[in-house]
Amino acid sequence: MYLSFVFFFSGVVLAVLLVAKRMDEKRKTGVFLLKLISRGEERARELHREAIKRYSQGKDQTHFFIRKQLPRYSKSSFNKLLAYLEESIKKYFNNLRDSRLLKKDEGISEFFKSMAEVEKGNGQIDGEIYIKEPTTDNLQPTAKPKQKRSRKKVKKILVQEEI
């Protein structure tokens, strides 16, 4: 139905244009309808030129931004991000170092207390310890004796490594 309506309407418009053109030729003056169509065509051409001009300018600006500005801005932003992250990590580790989780009221951290107890022999080690017996294949040459110097005498001290 719509197709037949559009076909009928376009036929009527063509007939009106033919009549207007005949009247224009007979009178030798401009008909209002044809003047209106001419002005509309001129306006459409101006709008088309303006659209092409804006498209060209936008294309050039976009190309300049993507090729020149974006890499510079992204590099700058990336460097600022790295500096910020480095600063925040340092701040976090400083706060961790001064953390209350590691400190007790006595001022010595729990970790160092337990290490002191283990070194004294009072501590407890959870887990099994396997001691590897030395073999002739695993022996390493002993270190050279270190010399302790003093003003009066030179003493040689032998250091033996335990394996």
Find, among 42, 34, 5, the residue nearest to 18 by Cα.
34
Kindly list the domain boundaries of the chain, sorted by start residue. Answer: 1-28
Give me the tens of pLDDT residue by residue for the chain, a chain 163 residues long: 888 999 999 999 899 888 888 888 888 777 788 888 889 999 999 999 999 999 999 999 999 999 988 888 899 999 999 999 999 888 877 766 555 555 545 555 666 667 666 666 655 555 565 555 656 555 555 656 566 555 555 555 665 665 5
Task: In whole angstroms, give the CA distance from residue 132 to residue 115.
Answer: 24
Backbone angles phi, psi at 104, to 5 degrees: -115, 180
Contacts of residue 154, defined as CB under 8 A and 6 or more positions apart, other chains included, come to: 147, 148
